[in-house]
Amino acid sequence: MTKSLQVKTDARRRPVTAKALLRAIASSTAIETGQNIQQLGKKLTQLSGKFASLKLAR
């Protein structure tokens, strides 16, 4: 018999901060493109540009 996979949920899970999300995006992009994480992070935090008014979905 095979055991079914159970997904455990933790009620104490902390919400993801914008800083952590930007860091994850920068590091993922850096791995894929070979660019510097710090430079990509700075580029992501700059809110100038044509998409500056858009917010991430929650």
**Top mean-pLDDT range of 1-10, 17-26, 49-58:** 17-26
- Report whether 45 contacts 52 (CB < 8 A): no
Residue with tokens 């791995």: 31
AA letter at 4: S
For 30, residues 6+ apart whose C-beta sits below 8 A from its C-beta are 36, 37, 40
20: helix, strand or coil: helix
**Mean predicted confidence (pLDDT) in 34-52:** 83
In angstroms, the first-to-last Cα distance of the chain is 40
Tell me what pLDDT residue 10 has: 62
- pLDDT tens digits for range 8-40: 666 678 888 888 988 999 999 999 999 999 999
What pTM was estimated for this model as a whole? 0.58
